[in-house]
Amino acid sequence: MIDRTKLSPIIREAVAVTEAECGRVSDEQIELLIRKERGEITTKDIIQDLKKKYME
């Protein structure tokens, strides 16, 4: 489980807005945001992963 108090301000804001609009954000989704912030993955990688997960 991810300690949400230790998230960067940008990720905390993204999680708060997403939860307000769409409901609970999973730890898996938060992990993707952390990896994106670190430069390990791109937005394109995240979109491709979501397409694989939900479109196939």
Instruction: Count CB neighbours of 33 within 10 A.
Output: 20
Per-residue confidence (pLDDT) for residue 36, from 0 to 100: 92
Confidence band of 49 (pLDDT split at 50, 70, 90): confident
Per-residue confidence (pLDDT) for residue 34, from 0 to 100: 94
Q: Residue 56 pLDDT more than 80? A: no
Give me the count of residues in the chain. Answer: 56
Please give the DSSP secondary-structure letter assigned to residue 6: G
Residues 6+ apart with CB under 8 A from 51: none
**Model confidence over 17-39: pLDDT tens digits?**
999 998 899 999 999 999 999 99
> Domain ranges in the chain?
8-55
Per-residue confidence (pLDDT) for residue 53, from 0 to 100: 79
